[in-house]
Amino acid sequence: MTKLTITEIAAESVELLPARETLLWDLNTALIAAHNTSMAVNAATVLSAANSVAVQGISVTQF
């Protein structure tokens, strides 16, 4: 990485961003949906075990 000289720093300029009211149509929205599903059945059995596997999902849509 090279060092900046005083001349290079003095040559820099800045520009102001527009006011917030000017950015009225700059919308950033997101639709988020999450779900968690699991099922286990252990009916009419003796000395048995029921296993369950959970499925999770998250969906994000950004506009």
Q: Which residues pair with 61 in a beta bridge?
A: 31
Confidence of residue 24 (pLDDT cuts 50, 70, 90): low
Pick the more confident residue, 1 or 41: 41
Whether pLDDT at 26 is above 80: no
Whether pLDDT at 4 is above 60: yes
Q: Residue written as tokens 């968690």?
A: 36
* pTM for the predicted model, two decimal places: 0.35
Share of the chain above pLDDT 70, in %: 84
Q: Report the C-alpha dihedral over residues 13, 18, 20, 24, rounded to 10 degrees.
A: -140
CA 62 → CA 25, 27, 40, 59, distances in Å?
A: 15, 10, 35, 10
